[in-house]
Structure 1
Amino acid sequence: MERADAARNRRAILRATEELLSTHDLAQVSMDRVAAAAGVGKGTVFHRFGNREGLMRALVESRVQALSSALESGPPPLGPGAPPADRLAAFFDAVIELASKNVKVMAAFEQASTDRLSSPIYLSWHAHVSGLIASAASSLDADLVAHLLLGSLHSDLMLRFLRTGETDRLAAGLRSMVATLLR
């Protein structure tokens, strides 16, 4: 169990990081600046998160926690109980919605990440997507198709669509791809 002061510091650091990202580029969001904004020592930030990549990962993980819970035990179609194709479409809709509400945080995580494919978030999402694909279309290479679909989320084009408010178009395109693949 996390100590109360450690939990408070963690929340303050994540809040300060988010606030700094809302007004600055990632290059301007140093660990020193985060520590000062959070009212903690720089050593506390490094001890808690290791480096800037760890800090960005923790910030993104705090955002995806609700989505992860919904995937495991939420109502259909996002949660269990719906056909795999419906769950997959709902998953991509939820990811697009999450990304549209957290564009700067997600972009900062992308910039700070050195190995996105080993991120716990990516690994979890890949397992979910590949499992749904395998259930819906056993003739497909579910592992590869999952990587390709998830890879489309990590592109400059997606970031452009999110920043220009074209999330409906993006979500419709992903739903169309999923439906075509799983026919």
Structure 2
Amino acid sequence: MCGRELLPVLGQPQPERADAARNRRRIIDVASRLVAERGAHQLSLDEVAREAGVGVGTVYRRFGDRTGLVFALIDEHERRFQAAFMTGPPPVGPGAPPEVRLRAFLRALVDRTVAQQDIYLLLDLAAAKGRHGGPYRIHHTHVAALLAEARPDIDAAFFADALLASVNVRLIRHQLDERGRSVEEVKSGLDALSAAVLHAPRGGRPGGEA
């Protein structure tokens, strides 16, 4: 499992002055509201600054550009999500068997991706590092650790990538919009996929290795 201490996704400077922390909180709250009301594609740093009551220079200095602000929005939710699977109650948190935790984690990740799909889609378009850095790196470490605990004979890193690929925001959007599947059907598909990995023939590894 990942370390017990929560890992910052963005590397935001900390600790910070009280006034800087208040400004950041206002900016994040306003940006979250605007995304919920209009979608992430219409997020404007100028409007965020105006509604948060701070200078636009403050927003640009703190977040750099819209992509930086999008990362910060994800970071807020990521910290809570990390707390749930690192130290929260089972089955997502410690205390349940690894196969049960894996299923619960993937289901929770689907819920989170659907809830923030506009932000994830914007991030996917704006920054390549959004795909396999930040949250993905932490999720991969966690999933690989659960797989290694449940099935030490398989290539846990490979199968962690394979499972997490199915929780890609674009694929989920396609499943919901184009395939007409419900969120619960997507989760059930992931249940079956993770079960297939956990019950794969022993000794088999990617590339045909025995």
Structure 2, gaps ≥5 residues long: 1-14, 200-210
Q: Choose the corresponding residue for 1:79, options 74, 93, 109.
A: 93
CA contact (8 A) 2:86 2:94 kept: yes
Q: Distance in 1 between matches of 2:176 and 2:51?
A: 28
1:171 maps to 187
In the TM superposition, what whole-angstrom CA distance separates every residue of 1:88-111 from its partner, at most 9, and x where no partner exists? 001011112222333323333333
Give 2:79's match in structure 1, choosing from 57, 65, 78.
65
- Normalised by the size of structure 1, how large is the TM-score? 0.88
TM-score, normalisation: structure 2: 0.77
Would you tell me which structure has more helix in proportion to its own residues? 1
CA positional deviation for 1:29:
1.9
User: Which range moves more in the overlay, 34-43 or 22-31?
Assistant: 22-31
Residue aligning to 1:19 = 33
AA aligned opposite 2:87 = S
RMSD over equivalenced CA pairs, Å: 2.1
**Residue 4 (structure 1) aligned with residue 18 (structure 2):** yes
Is 2:138 the partner of 1:138?
Answer: no
Q: Work out the percentage of aligned pairs sharing the same amino acid.
A: 37
Residues 123/155 of structure 1: CA separation in 2 closer, same or farther (3 Å cut): same
Shift of 1:160: 3.8
Amino acid of the structure 2 residue aligned with 1:159: R
Structure 1: how far apart are the matches of 2:41 and 2:122? Answer: 9
Instruction: Decide which moves more: 110-119 or 49-58.
Output: 110-119
Q: Distance in 2 between matches of 1:12 and 1:106?
A: 21
In 1, Cα distance between equivalents of 2:104 and 2:156:
18
Distance 1:89-1:56 versus aligned 2 partners, 3 A rule: same
Q: Number of residue pairs matched?
A: 183
